[in-house]
Structure 1
Amino acid sequence: MAGRRFLVTGGTRGIGRGIVLAAARAGADVVTCYRSPGESVNSLERELAETPGKHRVLQADAADERDVARLLAECEASLGGVDVVVNNAGAFQPKLYPELGSADWAATVQGNLTAAHLVTQRALPLFDGGGSIINLGSTVARIGMVGGVHYTAVKQALVGMTRSLARELGPQGIRVNTVSPGRIATEALDELPAEAAEQQRRLFSSFAALGRLGTVEEVAQVVLFLAGDQAAYITGQNIHVDGCV
């Protein structure tokens, strides 16, 4: 990834954080963003400060048009453009369908699908000579999820967006793919009470053919593969990183 310029939205926690650190450690320059300040932001800034390259961590909401404009302006000013855009930022609150209100639906669409659209469209003029756009989907879009009709709907919509953008942007040398993780072990599990965390690990591990949760690093490595030259003929795809659920 040496010399490549990455924009990763929602990059201070979970899978996004793993992608940011993997890209930076592989030699990329990285700009990322977060919505709310906290120790995860501070610790990421410390880790990136110890990693060679140009790295910026900004407060910006990927679902807010003005914030996105400011974020991409920073990419242009700091990095001179972008080669890879990873649409990782997302928002989801579980809610059973009979209780799903219009505001819940709208917030999920805005925080996941519209955010990816805003960032992608604003980033296009910053690509120079091709590049890669990677959308973070979810395996639940294929298998369904109780209490997640709104979430699975927008994640499936991302797959359609990916396919159409791949066709439209292909002539410009820009590849577009989706990575759909299954259940991944992130710090969110560690923040649960020990008994609840262990129960969730056992339950979700039992769903996967490999009998375990995935790791943040395993998802990040697939993203880096899609960003790199070895994936030069891969576009319009939805790659599941889920241990076969």
Structure 2
Amino acid sequence: MIVKEDGVAMGVLVLGGSRGIGRAIAVGLTEPGSTILVNYLGPDEEAQETQRLVQEKGGRAVLLRGNIASPEGAAEIAKLVSAEVDKLDTVVHCAVKTVSGPLLDADPEAFRQAVDVNAMSFLYAVQAVRPLLGAGSSVVYLSSRGARIALKDYASVGAPKAMAEAFVRYLAVELAAIGARANVVSPTAQDTAAFRDIFPNDYEQRLAEAARRSPSGRAVGLDDIVEVVRFLASPGAAMLQGQTIVLDGASTLAG
């Protein structure tokens, strides 16, 4: 990751970066001297642990507590980000809100909140940090298999993620004009708090099944996700635009 370019202070912004996949990406993209901006809404203790891990690797972690699920909230976070860096090298959206249960039984207000966090916040955040994006900037949205197929009790996450994947395609075309790019990374199931919230009774079996079905002989891990995000932020991905990278070890190909 670029720390400075022609005297311009660069940064990495992870939305929903205090735990799970977000934390793994925040820590995984840390290099000595880099600035990692961690947006979160959960417990401060989780964010502070992410900060500690970033600092252990020689990075500077800036914690940005705030709700990006509204234009106003995203604008406030963007203001804090702009006070820390001149340009964003990478923006990764990992924020998630779960409402488990069948779609037909979903509480309208709770489901709307899930859509705001899981999809709309991505758009709001990219709009808000637009002045900090430029040539070489990479925007990444973390999606999942549930955006493309109907998983039981997963509609509050899967449907908004499908919406956000569509946002990425449109944003990719618009960001290309300034040399920035937008893509999706869609890994198989991970042992995260959100996954456990949706599948509290059988998450272990689901994770084991995902590993068993992989022709590659193992489950996709957090390190695999980090490496794909790292690639998307590299010059080698300069012409990769609006794509969904399915990170599954060929599981979906094997049926």
Common fold by TM > 0.5: yes
Looking at secondary structure, tell me which structure has more helix per residue. Answer: 1
Aligned CA distance change for structure 1 residues 198 and 95 (closer, same or farther; 3 Å):
closer
Deviation at 1:11, TM superposition (A): 0.4
The whole-number CA distance in structure 1 between the counterparts of 2:57 and 2:24 is 14
1:88-127 paired onto structure 2 within 5 Å: 88-127=94-133
* 2:239 alignment counterpart: 233
Identical residues among aligned pairs (%): 29
Deviation at 1:189, TM superposition (A): 7.9
Q: Report the residue type matching 1:146 in the other structure.
A: K
Deviation at 1:95, TM superposition (A): 1.2
1:144-223 paired onto structure 2 within 5 Å: 144-186=150-192, 198-223=204-229
The whole-number CA distance in structure 2 between the counterparts of 1:170 and 1:127 is 11
Aligned CA distance change for structure 1 residues 98 and 211 (closer, same or farther; 3 Å):
farther
Aligned CA distance change for structure 1 residues 202 and 130 (closer, same or farther; 3 Å):
closer
1:130-141 paired onto structure 2 within 5 Å: 130-141=136-147
1:1-150 paired onto structure 2 within 5 Å: 1-3=1-3, 4-25=10-31, 28-150=34-156
TM-score for the superposition, normalised by structure 1:
0.89
User: Between Structure 1 and Structure 2, how many residues are aligned?
Assistant: 242
Deviation at 1:188, TM superposition (A): 7.0
SS at match of 1:57: strand
Deviation at 1:182, TM superposition (A): 1.0
The whole-number CA distance in structure 2 between the counterparts of 1:148 and 1:96 is 8
Answer whether contact 2:212 2:218 (CA < 8 A) is retained: yes
Deviation at 1:42, TM superposition (A): 2.3
Aligned CA distance change for structure 1 residues 187 and 158 (closer, same or farther; 3 Å):
closer
TM-score for the superposition, normalised by structure 2:
0.85
Q: Any idea what the Cα deviations from partners look like across 1:98-148, whole Å, max 9, x if unmatched?
A: 211211321121011110011000011112434111111111212321112
The whole-number CA distance in structure 2 between the counterparts of 1:2 and 1:107 is 35
Answer whether contact 2:190 2:207 (CA < 8 A) is retained: no
The whole-number CA distance in structure 2 between the counterparts of 1:219 and 1:25 is 17
Aligned CA distance change for structure 1 residues 205 and 15 (closer, same or farther; 3 Å):
same
Aligned CA distance change for structure 1 residues 200 and 169 (closer, same or farther; 3 Å):
closer
In structure 2, stretches of 5+ residues that fail to align are 4-9
Answer whether contact 1:37 1:59 (CA < 8 A) is retained: no
**Once superposed, what is the RMSD of the aligned Cα atoms?**
2.4
Aligned CA distance change for structure 1 residues 211 and 97 (closer, same or farther; 3 Å):
farther
Answer whether contact 1:2 1:27 (CA < 8 A) is retained: no
Answer whether contact 2:134 2:178 (CA < 8 A) is retained: no
In structure 1, stretches of 5+ residues that fail to align are none
